[in-house]
């Protein structure tokens, strides 16, 4: 087999390079085997990553069992729950590009023959998959797995409840003692936050698209099955290398359609659209937002996991996992079953023995929550290039709404107004200049949306932004408005009191202001000066594209 690592390991001219590997303690026997890069996002600041050192050891064991030499290297990761609500959140989406670039750098500089990628949280998963698609060397993803839900007074809860408890405290609905009790119990241990938030959405979609083994999205972080899965991933990468199965053999146009179909059935985070678009770009696969509605229109929503409902990722695991959801969808021939996956088998072969063991968690396809999918893209004069909403987490009464705009030029301004009780039932909150360029970094808005929910206003108030939302957000929260305000999108010209119409079932969002008035406002508009003058974010701001293109660089 002609391996990339031969460039640094074979021949007299490679002796200086081999000496560097010997300095690491590697023997000639190890250097005569394929070099497998193991990228781990382990750190001691992210609960979803704090156990990844154990999984990395399991991966390395699997690689050795199958005849390879594993080489561990790190990847950064931002904890969105800690970064939320301050300047740190501007770095979260931007870190996705750093992760992809750094893995590309490590793989190319050291001539790894293949990669095992060990992420878990929001931007780390897509960043690693973007790198795999870009490099196109045999690669497999094995995530850290979901956190168990917490428990309080017999009720399960997660980080979403923690953020909503802050809103309830500000509204005087709970006291400090209750807030502290929720704080202690919401996040009981390691793993990605327990609901169908962005991290778990992307981990499930890695399985759906075929770049991860079955169980990747749902096996709990604390389970021995997760360690076994990591060992199997380490062994499987050697088979992928032997058979020369590469990411772009798997990440095809039909595979992205499968991922979107499963996304709709599961009710994944709105961020999944942003990330799938970016991954598709790296894989050389054309993808635009219109396909989301096309697939949503024919895909039933089978799951209502937190924040859309009371169930958690662990419930999905015990009901049969992602494979059982795929099998339900296959009953209507909504899945391309012939596609190759990292198991070395097809999607159809992978689900042959799958079984839905709890039709309260995974609805039978004949009895879905709705005949259309969990996400919707809205178009209109307020968002000519589209905006995204998690339809499955919106109350029926809010699917069609008309209201007056309350306009804020940052998340911070909006948060102060919400906590001060200035937002009233019927309002439509507009938060702008929080897009990829305007933020910069497209901050998640879990604080404002959770505050509204905690105050009981999610039944009457919608929120629209050119920023984005945490997967833990529920209610009529519409994000990714494109073009964004900083680029002169229509959202920049909305004024307090303007009438806005939202029609989620029909995919429309309309600012009820005539063109003449909008042109006059545009003529007097000037983009605000960026408050970011130096550092990585300044470079990111200059290079980042529209959210409708996945907020990719260049």
Is the distance from CB of 445 to CB of 479 less than 8 angstroms? yes
Report the distance separating Cα 289 and Cα 535, nearest Å: 32
Collapsed DSSP state (helix, strand, coil) of residue 530: coil
Q: How far apart are CA 30 and CA 17, in angstroms?
A: 14
Q: Which of 219, 253, 249, 251 is nearest to 233 (CA)?
A: 219
Distance of alpha carbon 407 from alpha carbon 157, whole angstroms: 32
- Does residue 397 carry a catalytic annotation? no
Residue 188 CB partners (closer than 8 Å, separation 6+): 147, 148, 149, 150, 151
Which position among 370, 470, 546, 548 bears the catalytic label? 470
Minimal CA–CA distance to 536: which of 94, 240, 163?
94
Distances (CA, A) of 200 to 147, 375, 445, 525: 10, 16, 18, 40
Kind and range of the H or E run holding 199:
helix 198-209
Cβ-contact 193, 158 below 8 angstroms: yes
CA 547 vs CA 220, 265, 434: distances in Å: 31, 23, 11
Q: Is 71 helix (H, G, I), strand (E, B) or coil?
A: strand
Cis peptide before 192 (omega within 30 of 0): no
Q: Are 213 and 319 in contact (CB under 8 A)?
A: no
Please tell me whether the peptide bond between 261 and the residue prior to it is cis, using omega within 30 degrees of 0: no
Phi and psi (nearest 5°) for 168? -65, -35
Length of the chain: 554
Which helix (H) or strand (E) element contains residue 430? Answer: strand 427-431
Catalytic amino acids? 470
């Amino acid at each position: 087999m002609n391996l990339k690592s031969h460039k640094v390991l074979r021949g007299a001219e490679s002796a200086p390079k081999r000496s560097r590997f010997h300095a690491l303690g590697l023997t000639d026997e190890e250097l005569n085997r394929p070099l497998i890069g193991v990228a781990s996002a382990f750190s001691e600041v992210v609960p979803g990553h704090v156990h990844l050192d154990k999984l990395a050891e399991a991966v390395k064991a699997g690689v050795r069992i199958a005849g390879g030499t594993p080489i561990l290297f790190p990847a950064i990761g931002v904890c969105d729950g800690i970064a939320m609500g301050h300047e740190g959140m501007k770095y979260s989406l931007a870190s996705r590009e750093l992760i992809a670039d750094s893995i590309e750098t490590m793989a190319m500089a050291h001539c790894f023959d293949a990669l095992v990628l060990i992420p878990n949280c929001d931007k780390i998963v897509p960043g690693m998959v973007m790198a795999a698609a870009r490099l196109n060397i045999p690669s497999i993803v094995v995530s850290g797995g979901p956190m168990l839900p917490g428990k309080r007074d017999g009720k399960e809860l997660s980080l979403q409840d923690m953020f909503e408890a802050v809103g309830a405290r500000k509204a005087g609905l709970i006291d400090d003692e209750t807030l502290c009790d929720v704080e202690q119990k919401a996040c009981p241990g390691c793993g990605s936050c327990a609901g169908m938030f962005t991290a778990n959405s992307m981990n499930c979609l890695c399985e759906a698209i075929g770049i991860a083994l079955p169980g990747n999205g749902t096996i709990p972080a604390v389970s021995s099955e997760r360690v076994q899965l990591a060992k199997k991933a380490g062994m499987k990468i050697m088979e992928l290398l032997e058979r020369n199965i590469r990411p772009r053999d798997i990440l095809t146009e039909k595979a992205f359609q499968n991922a979107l179909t499963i996304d709709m059935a599961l009710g994944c985070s709105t961020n999944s659209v942003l990330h799938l678009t970016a991954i598709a770009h790296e894989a050389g696969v054309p993808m635009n937002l219109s396909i989301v509605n096309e697939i949503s229109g024919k895909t039933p929503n089978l799951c209502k996991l937190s924040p859309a409902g009371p169930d958690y990722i662990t419930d999905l695991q015990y009901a049969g996992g992602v494979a059982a959801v795929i099998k339900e969808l296959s009953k209507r021939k909504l899945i391309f079953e012939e596609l190759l996956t990292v198991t070395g088998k097809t999607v159809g072969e992978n689900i042959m023995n799958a079984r839905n063991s709890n039709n309260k968690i995974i609805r039978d396809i004949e009895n879905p929550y709705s005949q259309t999918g969990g996400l919707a893209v809205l178009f209109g004069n307020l968002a000519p290039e589209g905006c995204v909403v998690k339809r499955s987490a919106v109350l029926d009464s809010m699917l069609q709404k008309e209201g007056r705009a309350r306009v804020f030029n940052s998340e911070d301004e909006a948060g102060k107004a919400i906590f001060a009780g200035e937002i009233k039932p019927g309002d439509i909150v507009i938060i702008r200049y929080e897009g990829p360029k305007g933020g910069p970094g497209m901050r998640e808005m879990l604080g404002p949306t959770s505050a509204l929910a905690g105050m009981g206003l999610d039944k009457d108030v919608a929120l629209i932004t050119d920023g984005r939302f945490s997967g833990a957000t529920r209610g009529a929260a519409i994000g990714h408005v494109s073009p964004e305000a900083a680029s002169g999108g229509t959202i920049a010209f909305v004024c307090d009191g303007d009438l806005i119409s939202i029609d989620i079932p029909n995919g429309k969002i309309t600012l009820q202001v005539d063109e003449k008035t909008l042109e006059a406002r545009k003529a007097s508009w000037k983009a605000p000066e960026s408050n970011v003058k130096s550092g990585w974010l300044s470079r990111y701001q200059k290079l980042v594209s529209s959210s409708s293109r996945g907020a990719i660089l260049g």
